[in-house]
Amino acid sequence: QRSPLNDFQVLRGTELQHLLHSVGPRPWQEDVADAEECAGRCGPLLDCRAFHYNVSSHGCQLLPWTQYSPYTELQRSGHCDLFQKKDYVRTCITDNGVKYRGTVAITIGGLPCQHWSHRFPNDHKYTPTLRNGLEKNFCRNPDRDPGGPWCYTTDPAVRFQSCGIKSCREAACVWCNGEDYRGAVDRTQSGRECQRWDLQHPHAHPFEPGSLTNIWTTTTAGILTAPSGPGATPLIRRWSENSATSRAAPRSIKGSEAQPRHESTTLNCFRGKGEGYRGMANTTAAGVPCQRWDAQKPHQHRFAPEKYACKDLRENFCRNPDGSEAPWCFTSRPGMRVAFCYQIPRCADDVRPEDCYNGVGERYRGSVSRTRKGVPCQHWSAEMPHKPQFTAISAPDAHLEENFCRNPDRDSHGPWCYTTDPGTPFDYCALRRCDDDQPPSILEPPDQVVFEKCGKRVTRLDQQRSKLR
- By the rule CB under 8 A, 359 interacts with another protein: no
Q: How many residues of this chain bind another protein (CB under 8 A)?
A: 63
Residue ranges in 370-409 that form contacts with another protein under rule CB under 8 A: 372-373, 386, 389, 409
CB of 442 to another protein, least distance (A): 5
- By the rule CB under 8 A, 284 interacts with another protein: yes
| Contact (Cβ atoms closer than 8 angstroms) between residue 317 and residue 270 | no
- By the rule CB under 8 A, 206 interacts with another protein: no
- How many other C-beta atoms are found inside a 10 Å radius of the C-beta of residue 52? 23
Interface with another protein by CB under 8 A: which range of 77-85, 149-157, 256-264, 303-311?
77-85
> What are the residues whose beta carbons fall under 8 Å from the beta carbon of 155, sequence distance 6 or more?
111, 121
Interface with another protein by CB under 8 A: which range of 35-43, 289-297, 361-369, 418-426?
418-426
CB of 90 to another protein, least distance (A): 23
- By the rule CB under 8 A, 267 interacts with another protein: no
Cα–Cα separations (whole angstroms), residue 58 to 34, 81, 458: 6, 11, 41
Q: Which one of residues 13, 97, 102, 415 is an interface residue with another protein (CB under 8 A)? A: 13
Q: Which one of residues 1, 144, 441, 462 is an interface residue with another protein (CB under 8 A)? A: 441
Q: Which one of residues 125, 203, 302, 453 is an interface residue with another protein (CB under 8 A)? A: 453
> Which residue number, 240 or 283, has a Cβ lying nearer to another protein?
283
> What are the residues whose beta carbons fall under 8 Å from the beta carbon of 74, sequence distance 6 or more?
11, 14, 15, 16, 17, 67, 82
| Contact (Cβ atoms closer than 8 angstroms) between residue 408 and residue 398 | yes
Give the DSSP H/E element, type plus range, for residue 61: strand 59-63
- By the rule CB under 8 A, 215 interacts with another protein: yes
Task: Convert residues 319-338 into a mask of x (bound to another protein by CB under 8 A) and - (unbound).
Answer: ------xx------------
- By the rule CB under 8 A, 88 interacts with another protein: no
CB of 324 to another protein, least distance (A): 10
Q: Would you call 432 helix, strand, or coil by DSSP?
A: strand
CB of 199 to another protein, least distance (A): 17
Cα–Cα separations (whole angstroms), residue 299 to 293, 311, 329, 331, 333: 10, 19, 11, 8, 9
Q: Which one of residues 294, 350, 402, 437 is an interface residue with another protein (CB under 8 A)? A: 350
Q: Would you call 310 helix, strand, or coil by DSSP?
A: helix
- By the rule CB under 8 A, 285 interacts with another protein: yes
**Nearest one of 82, 94, 259, 50 to 187, comparing CA atoms:** 94
**Nearest one of 338, 184, 182 to 263, comparing CA atoms:** 182
Residues engaged in binding another protein (CB under 8 A): 12-13, 55, 76-79, 211-212, 214-216, 272-273, 283-287, 325-326, 339-340, 342-343, 345-346, 348-350, 372-373, 386, 389, 409, 411-414, 423-426, 428, 441-444, 446, 449-451, 453-459, 463-464, 467-468
